[in-house]
Structure 1
Amino acid sequence: MGRVFGGQVLAQALQAAQASVTDGKTAHSLHAYFLRGGREGAPIKYRIARDFDGRSFANRRVVATQEGDDGMPCPILNLTASFQTPETGLEHEDAPMPDVVGPDDLRPDMEVRRETVEKLGDRLNDAQRALMLRPRAIEMRTHDKLHWMNSDPKPPRAHSWFRTVAPLPDDPALHRAVITYASDYTLLGTSALPHGLSWMRGELVGASLDHAIWFHRPIDEHTRADEWLLYATDSPWSGSGRGFNRGRIYNRRGDLVASVAQEGMMRKRKKRD
C-alpha cells in the first residue's frame, strides 16, 4: 500500500472547509501541516471547526484523520483556511511572469517519464517505475529539467505548465481545490536541484512538512485549473535536513494567480552496507 499524495489531502481538506462557508465568501489563503503520511486506499475523514464568521472574513480549521494500527483516529494533516467576501481594493503586482516557452511548444511530461524509465532500466525498482508511469489527473509540460530528469547540479528554479487532463465544471471552489492539488507537484523537488539528487532515483528521503497558498485572483475564464497555468518555483535555502521552496502560479496573460510556500524534509539516503 502506497502513500497518499499530499496534494490530494490538501485539496480535499480545502473542499471540506469551502463546503462549510455558504455566505458568498471565497478562500483566499490556506496554511497546512503534514503530520503523518496517509495510506492509499484507507478512508480519510475531515473534521471541520468553524472558528470565525465575520462580515468580511471567516476562518475554518480542518483535521484530516485515518484509522491507525490500534483502530483509533490518527491525524495526518491540520489545515486552516481563511475566506473573504469579494471586494475591490488597491492593486499592484511586482512579480512579473518569467519569459518561458509556452505549453504548446513543450512535450508532455508523461512522454519524458516513459523515456526516463526506459533509460534508467534496472536502476529503478518496481515501485519507482510504477510511480513514474502511473496515470495523472494533471497534465504537466516542463520548460526546464526537474530533479528526476537530470543528475547535474543546477540552480534551484523550475518552470512547468499544468492543467487538468479533462474539462472541469464551472465551480470556482473546485478550481481552487485543483490548483491546491497541483501546487504540491514539483515544489519540494526544486530544493533538490542544486545537489543533483532525486527521490525518483532513490537518492533522497523526503516528505512535505507544511504548505501554504494565497489565492490572488477570482476564478474566471483565465484562471481555471483546466486551462494552462504556469508554475514557477524556486528554493532560496536548504539545510538541517530541510528544503524551503516558493511557487508562483500565473495564467497565460501573465497575471499572478496564486503564491505558494512549502518546507519539506530532505535527507540524502544512506547507503546500505
Structure 2
Amino acid sequence: MTSVDDLLHLLNLESITENQFQGYNKTVGSPNVFGGQVLAQAINAASQTITNNRVLHSMHAYFLEAGNLELPIIYNVALVRDGGSFSVRRVTADQNGKTIFILSASFHKKEDGYNHQIDINTKVKQPEELMSWTDMLGQFGDAIPKKTKGFIEIERPIEFKPVEVVNPFNKEDLPPFTNVWFKLKGDTSNLNLASKQQILTYVSDYNILAAAMNRHASKAHWGNTQTASLDHSMWYFRDFDFDDWLLYSIESPNTSNARGFAKGNIFTRDGKLVASVAQEGLMRPLNS
C-alpha cells in the first residue's frame, strides 16, 4: 500500500449479508494480521449497519487469536441497541470458523454540550525538523537492526516522524513516553468522518507499545521480546482533517506480568484533541 486510496480499499469491506462482511489482509511487516487493520475493518463493518447518521464515539476490543494473513476475515455484526441517542454494535471477527477478535462500538447522535480538552505539548519538535522512517532507512541503511529494518522497509500509506528516536545500540532505560507525527500519503480532501475515524483507528495501533518498551530499553528490544496487542480502546471527540501532520502523544504508566499498558492522545497540529487511545499489549521476554 502506498496511498490513502489503497488503505481505504483495504478497510472498506464486502457485504455478504445485511450484517455480515468480508475483509482481506495486507502485511505491515509482521507475520500476522496487523491489529490496526482488524480494528478499523471491524469499525467499518459496524458503521455499515448504522442508518440514523449517528457518529462513532467509542470502541473497546480484544484480540483473541493471531490473524492469518492468507485467509479472509468474516465480520459478524450484532445490533445490540438503537436507543434515543446511542446505537451499540458488537462485532466478532472469524477465520476458519474460529473467533479471533471481538469489538463493541457505540455511536451517538450529534448533541450540543460542554467542551474542554487538554493542551498539546508545544515543546515537541515540528515534523519539518524531524526524519521520517523513510529518511532513517535511507541514511542509516544496514546500521539498523535487521528486524527493525525489515519492518520499516514495507511501503505504507502513512509517513511517520518520531520526535524521540531510540538508538538501539545505547543500552539505557528511557522515559516511558513517545511522540510521533504522522501524515497520510495521497489526496485526503474527500474523506467523510466515518472514513477518517476508521483510518485513525488503523494508525492508532502503530507505535503505542514503544512507550512501554522504552522504560526497559537497557535490556528489552523488538528482537528479544514477544509483543502483541491484547486489547484496545479508543474514544473519538472531534471532526478533523488529514491534510496536515497529526501528533500521537503516548505514555506508559505500567508494565507488569509480561504485559505493557500505554495510553495516547492524538492532536491536530494546531492543538485540537481528536481522539484518545488505551492499549495493553503482551511484552514477553524471550530466551536469548
**Fold agreement, TM-score > 0.5:** yes
Match of 1:198 among 221, 225, 235: 221
Aligned to 1:109: 133
Q: CA deviation at 1:27?
A: 0.1
- Structure 2 counterpart of 1:160, which letter? V
Counterpart CA distance in 1 for 2:241 and 2:234 is 16
1:243 aligns with 2:244: no
Q: Residues 54-78 of structure 1, C-alpha deviation per residue, up to 9 Å, x if partnerless?
A: 12100000111111xxxxx111110
Three-state SS of the structure 2 residue aligned to 1:52 is strand
- Structure 2 counterpart of 1:141, which letter? K
Q: CA deviation at 1:212?
A: 0.3
Aligned to 2:158: 138
Q: CA deviation at 1:91?
A: 1.3
Q: CA deviation at 1:101?
A: 1.3
Q: CA deviation at 1:167?
A: 1.9
Counterpart CA distance in 2 for 1:112 and 1:236 is 29
Match of 1:96 among 115, 119, 122: 119
Quick one: percent identity of the two aligned structures? Answer: 37
- Structure 1 counterpart of 2:247, which letter? L
**Which aligned pairs between 1:1-273 and structure 2 lie closer than 5 A?**
2-67=31-96, 73-93=97-117, 95-99=118-122, 100-120=124-144, 124=146, 129-146=149-166, 151-168=171-188, 169-196=190-217, 197-199=220-222, 202-217=223-238, 219=239, 223-271=240-288
Q: Residues 5-31 of structure 1, C-alpha deviation per residue, up to 9 Å, x if partnerless?
A: 100000000011111101110000000
- Structure 1 counterpart of 2:246, which letter? L
- Structure 2 counterpart of 1:30, which letter? M
Q: Residues 120-165 of structure 1, C-alpha deviation per residue, up to 9 Å, x if partnerless?
A: 4xx626xx54323111111111111258686431101111111211
Counterpart CA distance in 1 for 2:183 and 2:281 is 24
Structure 1, unaligned stretches of length 5 or more?
68-72
Structure 2, unaligned stretches of length 5 or more?
1-29
Counterpart CA distance in 2 for 1:225 and 1:18 is 20
**What TM-score do the two structures reach when normalised by structure 2?**
0.84
Counterpart CA distance in 1 for 2:105 and 2:193 is 16
Contact 1:163 1:228 (8 Å CA) reproduced: yes
Counterpart CA distance in 2 for 1:147 and 1:261 is 26
Q: Residues 138-197 of structure 1, C-alpha deviation per residue, up to 9 Å, x if partnerless?
A: 111111125868643110111111121112332211100000000001101210001112
Counterpart CA distance in 2 for 1:147 and 1:19 is 43
- Structure 1 counterpart of 2:163, which letter? H
Contact 2:33 2:66 (8 Å CA) reproduced: yes
How many residue pairs match? The answer is 255
Counterpart CA distance in 1 for 2:168 and 2:110 is 40
Contact 1:114 1:133 (8 Å CA) reproduced: no
Q: 1:89 to 1:185 in 2, by over 3 A?
A: same
Contact 2:133 2:152 (8 Å CA) reproduced: no
Q: 1:191 to 1:149 in 2, by over 3 A?
A: farther
